Amino acid sequence: MSDLIQRIRQEMPATTAHIYLNTGTFGPLPTCVVQAMQEYLQAEWRDGRLGAASFENMKSTYDDARAKVARLLHADASEIALTDNTGEGCNIISYGFNWHEGDEVITTNHEHTSALVPLFQIRNRYGVVVRTADLGPVAAEPTLTAIAGLVTPRTRLIVLSHVTWTTGAVLDIAEVARMGRERGIPVLIDGAQSAGAIPIDVKALDVDFYAIPMQKWLCGPDGTGALYVCKESIDYAAPTYVGYWSIKHEEGHSEEMELAEGAQRFEVGGRQTAALAGQCAVLSWLEETVGHQWLFERISSLSAYAYHALKALPGVTMLTPRPGASGLVSFLLEGRDVNYPMPGRQGLVAILCFNSLHLHACTASASQDATSWERDALHWAY
Closest-CA residue to 240 (of 123, 97, 83): 97
| Residue closer to ligand PLP (CB basis): 144 or 226 | 226
CB of 235 to ligand PLP, least distance (A): 25
What are the residues binding ligand PLP (CB under 6 A)? 25, 85-87, 112, 114-115, 161, 165, 190, 192-193, 213, 225
CB of 381 to ligand PLP, least distance (A): 22
| Residue closer to ligand PLP (CB basis): 9 or 162 | 162
Residue 108 pairs in a beta bridge with 133
The residue count of the chain comes to 382
CA atoms of 354 and 157, how far apart (whole Å): 32
| Residue closer to ligand PLP (CB basis): 97 or 165 | 165
CB of 9 to ligand PLP, least distance (A): 24
Whether the Cβ atoms of residue 328 and residue 168 lie closer than 8 Å to each other: yes
Give the contacts of 45 (CB within 8 A, at least 6 positions apart). Answer: none
Q: What letter represents residue 53's amino acid?
A: A
| Residue closer to ligand PLP (CB basis): 71 or 112 | 112
CB of 354 to ligand PLP, least distance (A): 15
| Residue closer to ligand PLP (CB basis): 161 or 279 | 161
Give 3-state DSSP helix, strand, coil % of the chain, rounded to 5. 45, 15, 40
CB of 193 to ligand PLP, least distance (A): 5
CB of 160 to ligand PLP, least distance (A): 10
CB of 192 to ligand PLP, least distance (A): 3
DSSP string of 338-371, one letter each residue: ---S-TT-TTEEEEEEE-SS-EEEEE--SSTTHH
| Residue closer to ligand PLP (CB basis): 9 or 191 | 191
Whether the Cβ atoms of residue 33 and residue 221 lie closer than 8 Å to each other: yes
CB of 216 to ligand PLP, least distance (A): 7
Whether the Cβ atoms of residue 354 and residue 178 lie closer than 8 Å to each other: no
| Residue closer to ligand PLP (CB basis): 90 or 286 | 90
| Residue closer to ligand PLP (CB basis): 55 or 120 | 120
CA atoms of 124 and 107, how far apart (whole Å): 16
- What are the b/e assignments for 91-103, b being 16+ CB within 10 Å? bbbbbbbebeeeb
CA atoms of 282 and 21, how far apart (whole Å): 19
